[in-house]
Chains A and B, each alone.
Chain A
Amino acid sequence: MAGFLDEIEPLKQTALAELKAAPDIAALEQTKGAWIGPNGRFTALMKQLGTLSKEEKPAAGKLINAAKVELEAALAEHRSELELAAALPKHPTDFTLPGRRRTLGKLHPLTQVTEDIVRAFRKIGFAVADGPEIEDEYHCFDALNTPADHPARDSQDTFYIATKVENVFPSPGGEGRGEGGRSSLLRTHTSSVQIRVMKSQPPPVRIIVPGRVYRRDNADATHNPTFHQIEGLYVDKNVTVGDLKGTVEFVFRELMGSDVKIRFRPHYFSYTEPSYEIDFTNALVKKMGKDWLEIAGCGMVHPQVFETVGYDPAVWTGWAFGFGIERIAMLRYGINDIRLFYENDVRFLKQF
């Protein structure tokens, strides 16, 4: 009996060593079969139990079972090790290699800036409005208190449409390239939308109008015949210059940073009175070696404009302001040539 019990421990040790030494899964399975498979040596030991006396059986059985459990645990552990080893790629992965990219496209910088401006205005209750780019002289000039003989209305700056169009609104003394002193043109500013909106909805009005505008300038680093403006219009009771200043400050701080300072200067636009130009300054402007940079024009809506659209200037006051989107984008990103916006070079587009 003593001999049988004494055999178990060395046999277990040998089995453990062989299991651990198995170089791969196949060898491991083979070793498993040799020891704890149906014909394995431990299985044989179990069968020998029957030859033992009643007193000896329990101790021997316990011993063999414990050894078997230990062997199975060792087997499972080594199997996991071997499976992991087998799953490893042949060569170690270089995690510094560039990955396989699914690139997102970029929104055009002008779109991004426009959306930022729109977001800033919407925070304070403005709705986006829109109007046609082919305009008539009435909406672009006359209704904005700029009659045909007005020095501010210079045809050198305006593109006219060759097609003769039946416009509903006459412009007395206008360029008259169309019939009856009427003609179509490419809007020179988004302000024409002010008129269309005020004529179509009663006050109060609180809108912004982003859009393309056109001036008859040859393209150079600071000019493109096509460019973008955004217009803001607020008409309500008791609207003051203070409101205008407050809104301008809010919007430009949203856009250009909280260190922005705003300055109003007297200026002239035919459709606002008083009129102002807006200068701003911040760390960026100082870095450019300037005290102030001109950024926008604005003013209180001229009572004549209210009369034209049928609002009572004794009841309603309002302000309007407008600025160039390219200019904001150029300042924000440090872009030095406006033409880059319209060339669509992917090396440019991917930067924003």
Chain B
Amino acid sequence: MSDVFVRFRQMVAAVRGIDEDRITPESRLVEDLEADSIDIVELMLDAEREFGISIEKQEAQSLRTVGEIVSFIEARLAEQSTSS
């Protein structure tokens, strides 16, 4: 399990008020974890603050599973480390 996954899973658990055990990379935010649109904005803002990245609305709305979001964050972090 990557560090980003562990940290992002904590955020999802806190926002949704559920156990971390319920959250896998395959979990779909809306269908499986019952996140609504406001939960998703909160999670994206959480991730922006936690990882020091920016996530556009279109990007946020194209990501469905926890694993997809984690991969997106990891890619952003990799871009930042190569450009700096």
Partners in one complex: no
- Which A residues are closer than 8 A to B by beta carbons? none
- Which B residues are closer than 8 A to A by beta carbons? none
